[in-house]
Structure 1
Amino acid sequence: MSWLIRDRLRSNFYRNHFLPLRLLLRNSGDFSASERSGVAAFFLNKWDEEIIPSYKPESFYPARSRELVNETFYLISKLGFGTTSTVWLARDVRRWWWQDKYVVLKISVNDLPVKSTDYEVTVTARIASEDPLHPGRQFLRTPIDSFRLRGPKGTHLVQVYEPMREPLCVLQDRVQGRKFSPDLVKTILGFVLSGLDYLHNQCHIIHGDLTTENILIPIESPRILRRFVYEGLSLTPQAYRIDGRAICLSRQDMGELDPQAPMGPPKIIDFGASTFLGGEHTTQHINNQLIRYKAPELLLGTPFGYGIDVWNLGLMTWELLQGDGLLEVRDLMEWVNTEEMQLAEIIGLLGPPPEALRSQGSKSYLYFDSKGHFKFPHLIPQPKKLKKRVDSLAKKDRPLFLDFLRGMLTWDPLKRKSVRELLAHPWLRQESPQ
């Protein structure tokens, strides 16, 4: 089947759609990292990792700009944060001048179970080494290196990566209506599906958290990175102090995109929620994904597999094309969305779950009574015809797209298309009229 992937990557269609970014950007609505942080501070009076409900200061490594880590990596700017890590741009002081000298460090918290961190290292090592020549391997970002860093309150796993620009969700913020052109969506999906083909069929791994936040686009020009580094070294490091501890503020916006540069292929990141199919990793771990992306099998507690990634890809496809979520979060605060709300949205979209699927769910009793009726009918939205909601496509192109979408969004994961079947779908091969 790799011939199909290679054929897609070598085709004129794919070569033509390393699109100049000037074709992507129209009426940019760009929000800087400082503006986003300002919004968080305004509402929560908290900064960066402080906004995480489970935040514990002693768990995070107190990294600072201009710090030399492990006698190797000179920290330049904090790029971001998550529930279990902070991310930094750094310069590798050991490299020769002609080598790529900038890297990204993901510094994990010190209270992650050793088994969990060792597992992630095992997963990424498997991805890196299983079949380096597979055409989909290049679309998965794995660590260049990793090491343990001793902090004041414990030991932290540090993973070293190549620098990338920003996730797809941030790139969407730069585009009017957050909508990508159909051809660009098809191109991105081709790369992502190729990466998933390698992940599923060569490595036998479920990603488990496939979202627009976990797909990065590369830096389009070395000049962009050099400018970002220069600005980072020129600025006075910003820090917000709480309880005597300094939290460095994230600076992740690399500025305006170069309108003349081609956009290289995206890469799938973050394998912390990944699991080997049939392996020891637990359902509880993979359940950590965002509720608005959660697949029916995770909500109902039925057996799961590669179909989780396919479901996530279906929701992501709609987001990229339409600019909003297919399953609408009807509360102002996304993080109060509950599993019953997500199930209600799915019922509004697909109708009630098949009895055979519902009856085998270990959590079905939480949401359905003994007669199979949903316990929260007031949450079910009014049915909407997808054909009328797809306003980014010409009417004649909608049936083929909806066939592609429905192949990913079904209650029963066994009835979803595989990534190889999706790669061969005619909608991906159909070029939109210019």
Structure 2
Amino acid sequence: MDMAETLEKTYPKVVEGQIQGHDYVTLKIYANCSRIHRELPIYKHLGKIQSNHSGPQCLRMLLDSFEVTGPHGQHICLVHQPLGMSLYELKIRARGKVFSKDVLRPAVRQLLAAICNRITFSWELVISPCSLSMKRMNLPRKVVADRTIYLSRPLPFTFGPPVLCDLGEARLGYEEYQDDIMPDVYRAPEVILGMKWGYKVDIWNVAMVGEYDNAYHLAQMVAVLGPPPLDFLKHSTNSLKYWDENGTWRGLAPIPDISLEKLEQRLTGDDKERFLHFVRQMLCWVPEERPTAGEAIFDPWLMEGLFDSNDG
């Protein structure tokens, strides 16, 4: 019996990718060997929130959940509405693989609205909704001993507001944490250096800078932001690997000859200055100096064109 047949017997509403009412759904299946299952508790918490805040409308919500017995034991399954391509996939197809400001502004506004809920996310934005027309039986597949593996297909262009999804690394409340979070490219300096961190790491995420190696990642931050304050470095002994006791860079990676002005080559004049001001306020070494999501969303550059029908 393959996983699809197991799901159909365990959860009768799921048949050929549809639920009652003939609505398409997406199933996210957690392997039972996963160390921690954070996502379902986060969704249960969000489902209890009674608020007029716009944030929940910017999140991919949970329709249902259940457990299924399949290969290697019990697996948690999450039922979501289907979505289209991610912003990363959209960026790959964009001219020059760079977003225009008319795409970037509404996407960032939507993201900031989502994280105003004070839940820290390891996030991915996707474009919703997506009309799915393919049947499971039409997909190429590989049959192995205890399951059938179906080939994923690239998603077509889709239209609609972006939503925040993949809450497997979300955290609740104002508590400070000290464990790893985020894909490497999005990691804030306090995460790289093993310091305690809070929801302000998401403000850094929005700016999306960095390389994968920690030393090169930090070297790029120094090039763009200047050297970090010595008081900030004293919060972590890990910083002594990269800076000495006086805050001097040890040179584990060369400081590149870059700046925000050099990196931004598409905008000009006042438009470029307003955009760089928006980015700089989020790219701060000290988390407390970063704006909240609620403050950043009202930045003049980000608000520009909000009521223009041509903006998103």
> Is 1:91 equivalent to 2:10 in the alignment?
no
1:277-328 CA deviation, whole Å, 9 max, x = no partner? Answer: 344x9532xx14221111011112223112100000011xxxxxxxxxx43x
Deviation per CA, 1:316-365, whole angstroms, max 9, x where unpaired? xxxxxxxxxx43x4xxxxxxx33222212211221221100001114223
| Residue number in structure 2 paired with 1:357 | 232
Q: Are 1:185 and 2:99 counterparts?
A: no
CA deviation string 1:363-418 (max 9, x = no partner): 2233223333333x152332323223312213231111111000110101111111
Letter aligned with residue 160 of structure 1: V
CA pair 338-245 structure 1, distance change in 2 beyond 3 A: farther
CA–CA distance in structure 2, aligned partners of residues 123 and 64 of structure 1: 26
- Counterparts in 2 of 1:131-210, with a 5 A limit? 131-197=50-116, 199-200=117-118, 205-207=119-121, 209-210=122-123
> Which secondary structure state, in structure 2, belongs to the residue aligned with residue 215 of structure 1?
strand
The aligned residue for residue 267 of structure 1 is 163
Aligned to 1:48: none
User: CA offset at residue 420 of structure 1?
Assistant: 1.3
Counterpart contact for 1:109–1:157, Cα < 8 Å = yes
**Which structure 1 segments of 5+ residues have no match?**
1-60, 77-89, 316-325, 330-336
**Aligned residue runs from structure 1 range 389-400, under 5 A:** 389-400=263-274
Aligned twin of 2:141: 238
| Conserved? CA contact 2:225–2:284, under 8 Å | yes
Corresponding position of 2:188: 295
Query: Is the 8 Å Cα contact of residues 295 and 311 (structure 1) preserved in structure 2?
Result: yes
Contact 1:66-1:75 within 8 A present in 2 as well: no
**Cα displacement (A) at 1:75:** 6.5
Tell me, yes or no, if the aligned pair for 1:140 and 1:269 is still in contact at 8 Å: yes
1:90-121 deviation per Cα after TM superposition (whole angstroms, max 9, x unaligned): 222xx1xxx242111111011234xx32x432
What SS does structure 1 have at the residue aligned with 2:75? Answer: strand
CA RMSD, aligned part only?
2.7
- Closer, same or farther: CA 346–219 of 1 in aligned 2, 3 Å: same
Whether the 8 Å contact between 2:24 and 2:81 is mirrored in structure 1 is yes
For 2:283, the equivalent position in structure 1 comes to 409
State the partner residue of 2:245: 370
2:10 equivalent to 1:70: yes
Question: 8 Å contact 1:106–1:159 — kept in the other structure?
Answer: yes
Aligned length in residues: 308
Q: More helix by proportion, 1 or 2?
A: 1
- The one-letter code of the counterpart of 1:423 is I
Identity %: 25
- Shift in CA distance, 140/305, structure 1 to aligned 2, threshold 3 Å: same
Q: Any conservation in 1 of the 2:65–2:76 contact (CA below 8 Å)?
A: yes
Q: 1:128 to 1:362 in 2, by over 3 A?
A: farther
Give the residue type in structure 1 aligned to 2:269: K
Quote the Cα distance in structure 1 between the aligned partners of 2:181 and 2:127. 24
In 2, distance between residues paired with 1:414 and 1:405?
A: 16
Q: 1:217 aligns with which of 123, 127, 130?
A: 127
* Structure 2: segments with no counterpart, 5+ residues: none
Aligned pairs for 1:31-110 (under 5 A) are 63-64=3-4, 68-72=8-12, 74=14, 76=16, 90-92=17-19, 95=20, 99-110=21-32
User: How far apart are residue 156 of structure 1 and its match?
Assistant: 0.8
Deviations, residues 48-104 of structure 1 (Å, cap 9, x unaligned):
xxxxxxxxxxxxx9635896251425565xxxxxxxxxxxxx222xx1xxx242111
Secondary structure class of the residue paired with 1:405: helix
Give the equivalent residue in structure 2 for 1:429: 303
